[in-house]
Every structure is written in structure tokens, then in C-alpha cells.
């Protein structure tokens, strides 16, 4: 399958600060998850694709054409940025209608605006000023703005941030249906389950570099080896430590001095929590709090890079 987007040694830096460096990618149609911790370079990459930033070095071609200084190309691209980008004194309807007209729709502008607002659940709020929208509503308005012209390539930067659980499910379903119509989506996130719900094809980016690319099962095999730290606050922490210390899936048990917690380290989270639930059920253990400070992408990247 021919790549829709291709980069070679793509770099962008801001003074002495690197945004992305030496990106070599060939993205084919479908949904591609762009996954990495905050500050990894995801937004910079999407802004390069959307022509908002000019590369410092390297090449970037979209639909076989150069991206920068090629405005006609962007009739085929939709971009949902991470942050607000609209006229707050306009109503949601006027804003999306204005964008439809800017994309060249005339007689069809009202129809396109209504479709876009309906798809994100904002038709009932269309006459309210954008500045009165909640954060989640403004996020959905950004998505509507990116799809109003029905682009072939949809760039979504943290599109589900701040959106309530019900609309997260609906939007994930919409993105998958949009892809089935033959379109391509590049979705950035720092939350692995969000991406897993949309696609198995992902890119891991860290400190501006591509760290891994491919099927999510391969990425999962790396992440599952990550030794999670799990902290349990309990008045019976010493007894809990005694129960787990003999388990072969436990790497380390630590009770910090003068602390109400016990900290376990394990690479088998599922086994650990299954055993913990059994102990709680069988012995009525007093557990006040369970936290996992390592259960995040930054910790996983730090672990993988240090291997």
C-alpha cells in the first residue's frame, strides 16, 4: 500500500530546543495512534503535517506533494489542535458555518455545519456563544471544526481530553466509522487505553524521536515487562508484605519507615491484583488506598529506554 504521508530525516527545533529529530515514517491509510508522554513531540509533528510549522531539516510529503507553502493541499486535511482556536464571541453554529464557507461550500455550507455539529452532539447548543461552552463542549467543537469539510486525512491532537465518558465512547465509535469510509486518522494521546480502543497500529514517540512503531501487541509485550510499583495504604501492611514476599511474581517488597504504606514491585500486575483481591475477600483486609505511581507512559518510557 502506498504511503499517504512520508517523512525523511524530518527535524524541527526551536532555538536550542528539539521538537522532533530525524523522523523517518511512511504512514499508510487507516487509523494511526501517536503515543507518547507530554512533551514527547506529538503536537510538533502534527503541526508539521498540517503546515503550521516549517521543518528545520528533512522532507515531508503528503499525498505525494510537499506540505509547506502548498495551501490547496489542506482542502484534504482536517486538524483538531490540542488547544482552543476559535472566535469566542461567535456562537457554535456561526463558527462552524463560517469554516464551512471558508472551505468553499456555498449552498451546502449550512448542511455541512449541521452534520458536523450533530456528529459531536452540539446541535442543541449551537446558538450559545462559544465562550459559554464547558471545556468538554469546546473540545467537541474543535472536532466539529476539523471534520466539517470531510477531509481525507484527519489529525487529532489529544481529541478526548476533558470529554465525559459517554461522549468518549461515541467519538471513538465515530472515528472508527470515519476510517471505514476510506479516510486516514492520526490520533495523538498520552493515554494508552484511548488509542487501543481505536487502533492496533501505533507509533511511540519520546523526546522527539520514534521509539517504536507497529502492532500494539508488540508494544504491549514491552509494556508488560515494565516493573510496576504499587503502593497500598493499610493498617495491616506488614501482614500483607508477608503474604506477598514469597510469591514468584513479586520483585521487591518495601515498607518505608514511619509510613502507613507497603510498596510492591511486580511485572505481573494482573497476578498481583488477583492475589490482592483474594486476600481482601478471604481475610477482610483493611485497605485504605491503592496507588500505582509507575502506571503511566512516562514511567514506561523511562524504563524501556534504560533497559
Is 19 within the bounds of a domain?
yes
Q: If you average pLDDT over every residue of the chain, what do you get?
A: 88
Whether residue 191 is found in the same domain as residue 234: no
pLDDT of residue 294: 57
pLDDT at 141 over 70: yes
Q: What is the pLDDT of residue 122?
A: 97
Choose one of 215, 243, 272: the last residue of a domain. 215
Asked if the structure places residue 11 within a domain, the reply is yes
- In the block, cell 476533558 appears at 162
In terms of domains, do 196 and 268 share one? no
| Closest-CA residue to 146 (of 65, 46, 54, 48) | 46
pLDDT of residue 90: 95
Q: How confident is the model at residue 300 (pLDDT cuts 50, 70, 90)?
A: low
| 140 lies in the same domain as 118 | yes
In 3-state terms, the chain is what percent helix, strand and coil (to 5)? Answer: 40, 30, 35
Residues 260, 179 within the same domain? no
Q: Concatenate the DSSP letters of all residues of 125-169 into one string.
A: GTTSBGGGS-HHHHHHHHHHHHHTT--SEEEEESTTTT--HHHHH
Query: Would you call 11 helix, strand, or coil by DSSP?
Result: strand
64, 198: one domain: yes
Helices (H), the chain: 42-49, 92-102, 109-119, 135-147, 165-180, 192-196, 216-224, 237-244, 269-283, 297-306
CATH number of the domain that residue 133 is part of: 3.40.50.300
Domains held by the chain: number: 2
Q: Decide if 157 is inside a domain.
A: yes
148 shares a domain with 286: no
Q: Is residue 220 domain-resident?
A: no
The SS3 of residue 24 is strand
Flag whether 256 is in a domain: yes
Shared domain check, 241 and 125: no
C-beta atoms surrounding 144 within 10 Å: 24
β-partners of residue 62 are 5, 65
User: How confident is the model at residue 213, as a pLDDT?
Assistant: 86
Assign residue 283 the CATH number of its domain. Answer: 3.30.70.920
Looking at residue 263, its pLDDT comes to 93
Same-domain status, 64 and 169: yes
The per-residue pLDDT for range 185-224, each reduced to its tens digit, is 999 988 777 888 899 998 989 889 988 888 877 766 666 6
pLDDT of residue 302: 63
Indicate if 43 and 172 belong to the same structural domain.
yes
pLDDT for the residue numbered 229: 83
Look at residues 215, 243, 278 and tell me which one is the last residue of a structural domain.
215
Range of the domain at 187: 5-215
Q: For the segment 83-126, what is each residue's pLDDT rounded down to a tens digit?
A: 887 788 899 999 999 999 999 998 999 999 999 999 999 999 99
Question: What region does 19 belong to: left with phi over 0, alpha with psi -120 to 50, or beta?
Answer: alpha
User: 166, 191, 215 — which closes off a domain?
Assistant: 215
Cβ neighbourhood burial of 284 (10 Å; 0-12, 13-18, 19+): exposed
Kindly state whether residues 184 and 257 are assigned to the same domain: no
Whether residue 230 sits in one domain with residue 191: no
pLDDT at 296 over 60: no
Tens digit of each residue's pLDDT (9 = 90 or more) over 43-66: 999 999 999 999 999 999 999 999
What pLDDT does residue 40 have?
87
- Summarised one tens digit per residue, pLDDT across range 169-195 is 899 999 999 999 999 999 998 877 788
Percent of the chain with pLDDT over 70: 92
Same domain assignment for residues 203 and 280: no
Amino acid at each position: 500500500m502506498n504511503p499517504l504521508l512520508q517523512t525523511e530525516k524530518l527535524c524541527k527545533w526551536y532555538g536550542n530546543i528539539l521538537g522532533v529529530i530525524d523522523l523517518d515514517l511512511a504512514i499508510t491509510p487507516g487509523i494511526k495512534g501517536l503515543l507518547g508522554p507530554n512533551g514527547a513531540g506529538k503536537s510538533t509533528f502534527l503541526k508539521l503535517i498540517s503546515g503550521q510549522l516549517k521543518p528545520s531539516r528533512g522532507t515531508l510529503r503528503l499525498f505525494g506533494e510537499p506540505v509547506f507553502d502548498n495551501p490547496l493541499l489542506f482542502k484534504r486535511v482536517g486538524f483538531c489542535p490540542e488547544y482552543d482556536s476559535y472566535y469566542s464571541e461567535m456562537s457554535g453554529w456561526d463558527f462552524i458555518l463560517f469554516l464551512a464557507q471558508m472551505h468553499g461550500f456555498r449552498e451546502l455550507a449550512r448542511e455541512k455545519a449541521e452534520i458536523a455539529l450533530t456528529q459531536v452532539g452540539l446541535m442543541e447548543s449551537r446558538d450559545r456563544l462559544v465562550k459559554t461552552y464547558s471545556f468538554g463542549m469546546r473540545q467537541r467543537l474543535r472536532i466539529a471544526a476539523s471534520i466539517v469539510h470531510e477531509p481525507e486525512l484527519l489529525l487529532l491532537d489529544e481529541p478526548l481530553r476533558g470529554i465525559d465518558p459517554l461522549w468518549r465512547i461515541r467519538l471513538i465509535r465515530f472515528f472508527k466509522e470515519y476510517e471505514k469510509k476510506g479516510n486516514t486518522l492520526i490520533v495523538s494521546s498520552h493515554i494508552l487505553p484511548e488509542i487501543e480502543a481505536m487502533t492496533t497500529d501505533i507509533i511511540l514517540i519520546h523526546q522527539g524521536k520514534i521509539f517504536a512503531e507497529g502492532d500494539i501487541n508488540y508494544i504491549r509485550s514491552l509494556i508488560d515487562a515494565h516493573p510496576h510499583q504499587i503502593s497500598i495504604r493499610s493498617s495491616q501492611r506488614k501482614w500483607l508484605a508477608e503474604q506477598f514476599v514469597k510469591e514468584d511474581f513479586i520483585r521487591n517488597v518495601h515498607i518505608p519507615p514511619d509510613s502507613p504504606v507497603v510498596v510492591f514491585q511486580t511485572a505481573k500486575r494482573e497476578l498481583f491484583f488477583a492475589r490482592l483481591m483474594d486476600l481482601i475477600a478471604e481475610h477482610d483486609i483493611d485497605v485504605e488506598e491503592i496507588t500505582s505511581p509507575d502506571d503511566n507512559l512516562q514511567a514506561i518510557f523511562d524504563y524501556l529506554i534504560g533497559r
